[in-house]
Amino acid sequence: MSAPYGPLTACAEATANIAMVKYWGKRDSILNLPVADSVALCLDSFPTRVLVTQAETAQDEVIWSGRPVQPPQLGRFGRILALLRERSGLRCTTRTEVRPQLPDAVGLAGSSAAFAAFALAASAAFRVEMSERELSALARLGSGSASRSVPGGFARWHRGQQADGSDSFSERFASALHWPELRLLAVIVSRQPKPVSSTVGMIRTSRTSALFPLFADQCSRLAPEAQAAIEGRDFDRLARIAELSAQTLHGLCLTASPPILYVRQRTIELLELACDLKRSVPLFFTLDAGPNPIFVTLAPHDLSVSREILQRFPDVEILSCGVGGGVRVADPGPIRSPS
Ligand code: DP6
């Protein structure tokens, strides 16, 4: 890939993805190697744009939504940059600007979009040619779920067997066009930062919950089933799998020591509403490590589902998306800070 913006400058964008079979637990926490496969839908909306430029400073610098990123978060970028320096032979430092379209506080898997875009922008800036698989594995070093935002569409992240992570990457097994009727409604009940980050939460549960091995086995079993449900556009089958994976994740978190509780009162009320609504419309929910549920339905029911949610809970915000995404080179123009 050529970098059209001058020496060591490149810009890319990517969107978040929402797992139907959750990634939770690492067999290697430096390389972000998962204990099991996972399956996700990549969003078609709300891209995060990342600009990487050569810096004059002694250290790499990352500005995320206008604020400097500090260690240990900075180390996530450092792992990717270290690998690119080794591959390119270039030693210069970089300045990275991460500009999400959605505030991080909405908790919509923002790191998956940011690290997917960063992997492409940084590799283009360092002039390192990468296949999509390599790029997915590179993004994984920043945040595991970012590996799935690289291919976009309907993606499966392979656990892999190798200790160096070379076979742990995500692949698109169906394009967004495969199931254009699928709609995701992210219901924002809280913009507070979550009490325990995913990274810390998954380490704590894997170390302290006796149920963790069962959860990992379940993911390994559900991932091929979710792929088959998506390939067959079998909504009811996907609904059963996705709800089971999300419920098991939250049940698992409760059995950690100390327990982790991501849901709020309003989350539970919304899950009750989902159970009511699915008697009359195709609908299921999923829930990441936070209080904001995501309702999945089929067009044209998304509008009536949104209406029902807002009628019962006028204080929530709904972000509506389809499936799409896939990391791409972007025009850096609008990302520059106003001078
Ligand atoms: C609940 O990818 O954020 O969203 O690899 O430590 O950065 P790190 O974790 P992260 O975890 C995402 C967890 C999840 C489930 C999922 O997206 O599969």
Compute, in angstroms, the gap from residue 199 CA to the centroid of ligand 1: 7
Q: What is the DSSP letter of 276?
A: H
Read off the pLDDT of residues 75-97 as tens digits, 9 standing for 90 and up.
Answer: 999 999 999 999 999 999 999 99
Give, rounded to a whole angstrom, the gap between the first and last alpha carbons of the chain. Answer: 30
Residue closest via CA to ligand 1's atom 14 equals 288
Could you tell which of 141, 198, 241 is best to mutate to test the pocket of ligand 1, judged by most ligand atoms within 8 Å of the CB?
A: 198
Q: Is the pLDDT of residue 103 over 90?
A: no
Higher-confidence residue: 7 or 144?
144
Q: Is the pLDDT of residue 320 over 60?
A: yes
Q: Is 65 exposed, middle or buried (0-12, 13-18, 19+ CB in 10 A)?
A: middle
Whose alpha carbon is nearest atom 5 of ligand 1?
144
Determine if ligand 1 sits within 6 Å of the CB of residue 53: no
Amino acid residing at 222 = L
Task: Note the pLDDT of residue 331.
Answer: 87
From ligand 1's centre to the CA of 136, what distance in Å? 15
Write b or e for each residue in 51-63: b if 16 or more Cβ atoms lie within 10 A of its Cβ, otherwise e. Answer: bbbeeeeeebbbe
Ligand 1, atom 6: nearest CA belongs to which residue?
Answer: 199
Between residues 91 and 270, the one the model is more confident about: 270
pLDDT at 105 over 90: no
Q: How many CA atoms lie within 13 A of 89 on its CB side?
A: 0
Look at residue 35 and give its three-state secondary structure: coil
Specify the pLDDT at position 2: 41
**Does the beta carbon of 199 lie inside 6 Å of ligand 1?**
yes
Would you call 83 helix, strand, or coil by DSSP? helix
Other beta carbons within 10 Å of 155: 27
Residue 135: CB atoms within 10 Å: 23
Note the CATH number of domain 9-175: 3.30.230.10
Task: State in words which class domain 182-321 has.
Answer: alpha beta
Question: pLDDT at position 1, please?
Answer: 39
**Ligand 1 pocket residue status of 22, Cβ below 6 Å:** yes
The full set of domain ranges for the chain reads: 9-175, 182-321
Q: Is 206 in the pocket of ligand 1 (CB under 6 A)?
A: no
Maximum CA pair distance of the chain? 60
- Testing ligand 1's pocket by substitution, the residue of 23, 48, 169 carrying the most ligand atoms inside 8 A of its CB is 23
- For residue 21, list its beta bridge partners: 39
pLDDT averaged over every residue in the chain: 94
Structural tokens at position 220 = 């390994």
- Residue 7's pLDDT band, with cuts at 50, 70 and 90, is low
Fold equal for 9-175 and 182-321: no
* 242: enclosing H helix or E strand: helix 235-254
